[in-house]
Amino acid sequence: GEDVEQSLFLSVREGDSSVINCTYTDSSSTYLYWYKQEPGAGLQLLTYIFSNMDMKQDQRLTVLLNKKDKHLSLRIADTQTGDSAIYFCAGADTGRRALTFGSGTRLQVQP
Amino acid sequence: GAVVSQHPSWVICKSGTSVKIECRSLDFQATTMFWYRQFPKQSLMLMATSNEGSKATYEQGVEKDKFLINHASLTLSTLTVTSAHPEDSSFYICSAPDRVSNNEQFFGPGTRLTVL
């Protein structure tokens, strides 16, 4: 099955850009996702990218997908203190639809 | 977007009791729902796939007699933690896929279970 890895922690200053990285093993994942989880809360879907795309931009969020290296990244422009949370990347096994989540990256935004 | 609800949002129970958690798709039908478990400061791990009208499919290492799943209708799946123990304390989250686009999962808000 899919194996997804992320760096555990990232600290940035307010106004800077944040880049959260993710690597995965199963190149057959059709979609790759980014979720945000605030303390004690459920998951919020931020964005997703189809596997035949290289990049997707949605307001402050930019997703880059390098299929050759099996690397996915999420860039948050002009990071705000409200962006402080845990960010999970996830992939879906082909045909299965259940998601395999990365370990999560805790983003801390310093004012 | 579609909404998935969970009930209760949190529960505290004594060791040895059973706890039922409900997952409902509020404005769409879900023949399949997924149950995940998240331990503190860890990622979500898939526990089982709930299938309407048939038996659930459990992931390796998940005891099906301990985590009973019933998907009795197209909008409701229940997870019952039987004879709960402190090590079962966790955050349980369900999700349902979008049947139309098949590329989006709708997650419930989660249920925090604490077993004393």
Measured CA to CA, the distance from residue B23 to residue B94 in angstroms comes to 6
Residue B41 pLDDT: 82
Query: What is the maximal distance between C-alpha atoms in chain A?
Result: 43
* Average pLDDT for chain B: 92
Residue A29 pLDDT: 72
Q: Is B7 on the interface with A (CB under 8 A)?
A: no
Cβ neighbours of A7 (radius 10 Å): 14
Contact A106, A8 (CB under 8 A): yes
Residue B80, strand partner residues = B20, B68
Residue A84 pLDDT: 97
Nearest to A51 by CA among A18, A3, A92: A92
Residue B1 pLDDT: 65
* Residue of chain A whose Cα is closest to the Cα of B4: A42
Q: Distance (Å) from the C-alpha of residue A6 to the closest C-alpha of chain B? A: 11
Higher-pLDDT residue of B68, B106: B68
**Tell me: the pLDDT tens digits for B27-58?**
888 989 999 999 888 899 999 999 998 899 99
Asked whether the CA dihedral A50, A54, A59, A60 is positive or negative, the reply is positive
Chain A residues with beta carbon closer than 8 angstroms to that of B110:
41-42
Average pLDDT over residues B17-30: 94
Q: Distance (Å) from the C-alpha of residue B94 to the closest C-alpha of chain A? A: 10
Residue A98 pLDDT: 85
* pLDDT range class, residue B101, cuts 50, 70, 90: low
For residue A42, the one-letter residue type is G
Q: What b/e sequence results for B28-42 when a residue is b if at least 16 CB atoms lie within 10 Å of its CB, and e otherwise?
A: bebebbbbbbbeeee
Say whether B46 and A98 touch across the interface (CB within 8 A).
yes
Q: What percentage of chain B has pLDDT greater than the value 70?
A: 95
Long-range contacts of residues A99-102, Cβ cutoff 8 Å, at least 24 apart: A99/A33, A99/B34, A99/B44, A99/B46, A99/B95, A99/B105, A100/A1, A100/A2, A100/A3, A100/A4, A100/A26, A100/B46, A101/A4, A101/A35, A101/B36, A101/B43, A101/B44, A101/B45, A102/A4, A102/A5, A102/A6, A102/A22, A102/A24, A102/B43
Chain A residues with beta carbon closer than 8 angstroms to that of B96:
none
Say which of A30, A97, A102 has its CB closest to residue B32.
A97
Tokens of B40: 């503190």
Q: Distance (Å) from the C-alpha of residue B60 to the closest C-alpha of chain A? A: 12
Consecutive sets of 10 residues in chain A, 111 residues long: mean pLDDT of each?
Answer: 84 97 82 90 90 92 93 96 95 76 95 91
Chain B residues with beta carbon closer than 8 angstroms to that of A88:
43-44
Question: For residue B86, which phi and psi values (nearest 5 degrees)?
Answer: -55, -35
* pLDDT range class, residue B68, cuts 50, 70, 90: very high
Q: Distance (Å) from the C-alpha of residue B40 to the closest C-alpha of chain A? A: 10
- Best of B105, B111, B114 to disrupt the A interface (most A CBs within 10 Å) is B105
